[in-house]
């Protein structure tokens, strides 16, 4: 079993079922982890002036045909039929031809939001983002824990801008990626520019323009990169960011893509300063990519001992004997009031057993209290993970100060 799946079992985060291959069943602790990352990313996108949207999971085939996903990506989509009542016999239902597909990405939905009314240059760049539920019909043999799934949530974002904005948008994106990755403990990453694939949309002239623009921006920002022919998206070249984990493995997560083609196919426009219609460029971007995969990589990177701000349970209060129950409860209540994700272990069992269990569950810190600590109104804080174990005595006010700093998500810009 992949390491992240074993950790997920020990930490009671999620599991898989044979009847839903490639789809995650999130448990309460797992969803807390998911939400803490989502909240952090929401703050990141807000700071970068993206507006959050939400669009349907199933979209009509006509839209996929127009976006060319039907033609270029159909084998990767879940196609579904709608059920309609028979006009003569209302109790009889029949499935009519498969005319919907579950979205593999949110691009056409965000295009629909852009096109819902006339746009002006004052709204450009328009930045939309969604924690989009995506489905991809991956072959069952290729599914692997969280690393390759059929259903996942993606931080799926699109920028509608002018060609002259592309440089600053990509520069902002790369700065953001660096800061976000650092907040999760990753400090090494590499870049790849993926060029036109054989199955593609649009003229070579537009591809030429998109590719040279992307290469020029990345070069001018002084980054090293590798070129990958044939690996671009069917609508445009991609800049892909791979992070390096603690085991030296490389994972492609973030991406930004320059697209001149879908704006043309969908005839996107805005009214410019001269009152004329102008076509925007579309940038497709994701910072984490699939949340589930991100969590799988992160679990393996930190051996389960997550950064405290993301951990589903941030601290546990473990009492040594019943003489410390009241004091343990006082600590628990006051941390809970501060918004810390805290647990209380006042069960009648040895402290050794309690600590072993909490460590197996990868709880990042444990406050241990016995009779002496109850008398002195202190606690012993044990910090787990990071290769070494620290233990130090402090009072409740000191613990609260420490958690006020470490238990909330890093402020962005970091
Ligand atoms: Zn897109």
Q: What CATH number is associated with residue 59?
A: 3.30.930.10
Using the mean position of ligand 1's atoms as its centre, give its distance from the Cα of residue 285 in Å. Answer: 7
Using the mean position of ligand 1's atoms as its centre, give its distance from the Cα of residue 284 in Å. Answer: 4
User: Does an H or E element contain 271, and which?
Assistant: strand 270-271
Q: Quick one: pLDDT at residue 181?
A: 96
Asked whether residue 346 is domain-assigned, the answer is yes
Q: Quick one: pLDDT at residue 411?
A: 83
pLDDT surpassing 80 at residue 83: no
User: Are 57 and 184 part of one and the same domain?
Assistant: yes
Q: Quick one: pLDDT at residue 198?
A: 93
pLDDT digits (tens, 9 = 90+) for 278-307: 999 999 999 999 999 999 999 999 999 999
Using the mean position of ligand 1's atoms as its centre, give its distance from the Cα of residue 110 in Å. Answer: 8
User: Are 235 and 143 part of one and the same domain?
Assistant: yes
Average pLDDT of the chain is: 93
User: Are 290 and 333 part of one and the same domain?
Assistant: no
Mean pLDDT calculated for residue range 161-184: 96
**What DSSP string describes 292-329?**
HHHHHHHHHHTTT---TTT-SS-EEEEESSGGGHHHHH
Query: Diameter of the chain by CA atoms?
Result: 81
User: Are 295 and 364 part of one and the same domain?
Assistant: no
User: What percentage of the chain exceeds 70 in pLDDT?
Assistant: 96
pLDDT surpassing 80 at residue 413: no
Q: Quick one: pLDDT at residue 117?
A: 97
Asked whether residue 152 is domain-assigned, the answer is yes
Mean pLDDT calculated for residue range 80-107: 78
- Lowest mean pLDDT, pick from 192-196, 203-207, 373-377, 410-414: 410-414
Using the mean position of ligand 1's atoms as its centre, give its distance from the Cα of residue 3 in Å. Answer: 31
Cα–Cα distance measured from residue 253 to residue 155, given in angstroms and rounded to the nearest whole number:
11
Asked whether residue 308 is domain-assigned, the answer is no
Q: How sure is the predictor about 71, in pLDDT bands with cuts at 50, 70 and 90?
A: confident
pLDDT digits (tens, 9 = 90+) for 198-234: 989 999 999 999 999 999 999 999 999 999 999 999 9
pLDDT surpassing 80 at residue 82: no
Asked whether residue 413 is domain-assigned, the answer is no
CA dihedral (137, 138, 139, 140) positive or negative: negative
User: Are 124 and 163 part of one and the same domain?
Assistant: yes
CA dihedral (55, 71, 76, 300) positive or negative: negative
Asked whether residue 202 is domain-assigned, the answer is yes
Q: Quick one: pLDDT at residue 386?
A: 62
Using the mean position of ligand 1's atoms as its centre, give its distance from the Cα of residue 242 in Å. Answer: 19
Mean pLDDT calculated for residue range 269-275: 98
CA dihedral (323, 326, 327, 328) positive or negative: positive
Q: Point out the residues that are catalytic.
A: 107, 136, 154, 156, 158, 238, 284
User: Are 26 and 73 part of one and the same domain?
Assistant: yes
The two structure tokens encoding residue 192: 């790849």
Pick from 301, 335, 361: which residue ends a domain? 301
Q: Quick one: pLDDT at residue 275?
A: 97
Using the mean position of ligand 1's atoms as its centre, give its distance from the Cα of residue 158 in Å. Answer: 6
User: What percentage of the chain exceeds 90 in pLDDT?
Assistant: 86
- The closest of 130, 102, 141, 103 to 22, measured between CA atoms, is 141
Using the mean position of ligand 1's atoms as its centre, give its distance from the Cα of residue 109 in Å. Answer: 9
Using the mean position of ligand 1's atoms as its centre, give its distance from the Cα of residue 234 in Å. Answer: 11
Parallel/antiparallel/unpaired status of strands 25-26 and 14-15: antiparallel
Q: Quick one: pLDDT at residue 389?
A: 73
Which pTM value belongs to this model? 0.94
User: Are 247 and 269 part of one and the same domain?
Assistant: yes
Q: Quick one: pLDDT at residue 414?
A: 62
User: Are 320 and 296 part of one and the same domain?
Assistant: no
Using the mean position of ligand 1's atoms as its centre, give its distance from the Cα of residue 224 in Å. Answer: 25
pLDDT surpassing 90 at residue 34: yes
pLDDT surpassing 80 at residue 96: no
CATH of the domain at 326: 3.40.50.800
pLDDT surpassing 90 at residue 72: no
Asked whether residue 53 is domain-assigned, the answer is yes
Using the mean position of ligand 1's atoms as its centre, give its distance from the Cα of residue 274 in Å. Answer: 29
Asked whether residue 395 is domain-assigned, the answer is yes
Q: How sure is the predictor about 20, in pLDDT bands with cuts at 50, 70 and 90?
A: very high
pLDDT digits (tens, 9 = 90+) for 385-402: 766 677 899 999 999 999
Parallel/antiparallel/unpaired status of strands 79-85 and 390-395: unpaired
Mean pLDDT calculated for residue range 118-125: 98
Number of domains into which the chain is organized: 2
Using the mean position of ligand 1's atoms as its centre, give its distance from the Cα of residue 19 in Å. Answer: 30
Cα–Cα distance measured from residue 346 to residue 276, given in angstroms and rounded to the nearest whole number:
71
Range of the domain at 191: 3-301
User: Are 165 and 67 part of one and the same domain?
Assistant: yes
């Amino acid at each position: 079993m992949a390491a992240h799946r074993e950790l997920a079992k020990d930490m009671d985060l999620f599991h898989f079922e044979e009847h839903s291959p490639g789809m995650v069943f999130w448990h309460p602790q797992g969803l807390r982890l998911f939400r803490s990352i989502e909240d952090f990313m929401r703050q990141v996108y807000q700071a970068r002036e993206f507006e959050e949207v939400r669009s349907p999971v199933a979209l009509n085939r006509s839209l996929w045909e127009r976006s060319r996903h039907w033609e270029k990506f159909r084998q990767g989509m879940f196609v579904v039929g709608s059920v309609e009542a028979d006009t003569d016999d209302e109790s009889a239902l029949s499935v009519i031809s498969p005319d919907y597909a579950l979205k593999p990405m949110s691009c056409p939905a965000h295009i629909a939001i852009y096109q819902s009314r006339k746009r002006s240059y004052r709204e450009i760049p328009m930045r939309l983002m969604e924690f989009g539920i995506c489905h991809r019909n991956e072959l069952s043999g290729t599914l692997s824990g969280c690393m390759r799934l059929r259903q996942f949530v993606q931080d799926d974002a699109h920028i509608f801008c002018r060609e002259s904005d592309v440089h600053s948008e990509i520069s902002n994106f790369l700065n953001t990626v660096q800061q976000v990755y650092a907040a999760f403990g990753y400090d090494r990453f590499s870049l790849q520019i993926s060029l036109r694939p054989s199955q593609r949309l649009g003229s070579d002239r537009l591809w030429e323009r998109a590719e040279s623009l992307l290469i020029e921006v990345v070069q001018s920002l002084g980054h090293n990169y590798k070129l990958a022919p044939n690996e671009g998206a069917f609508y445009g070249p991609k800049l892909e960011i791979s992070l390096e984990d603690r085991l030296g493995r490389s994972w492609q997560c973030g991406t930004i893509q320059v697209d001149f083609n879908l704006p043309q196919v969908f005839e996107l426009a805005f009214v410019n300063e001269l009152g004329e219609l102008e076509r925007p460029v579309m940038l497709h971007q994701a910072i984490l990519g699939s949340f589930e995969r991100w969590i799988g990589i992160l679990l393996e990177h930190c051996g389960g001992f997550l950064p405290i701000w993301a951990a589903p349970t941030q601290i546990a209060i473990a009492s040594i004997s019943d003489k410390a129950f009241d004091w343990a409860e006082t600590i628990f209540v006051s941390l809970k009031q501060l918004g810390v994700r805290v647990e209380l272990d006042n069960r009648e069992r040895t402290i050794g057993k309690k600590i072993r269990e909490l460590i197996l569950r990868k709880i990042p810190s444990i406050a241990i209290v016995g009779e002496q600590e109850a008398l002195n109104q202190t606690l012993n804080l044990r910090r787990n993970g990071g290769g070494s174990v620290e233990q130090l005595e402090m009072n409740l006010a000191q613990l609260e100060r420490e958690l006020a700093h470490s238990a909330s998500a890093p402020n962005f810009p970091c």
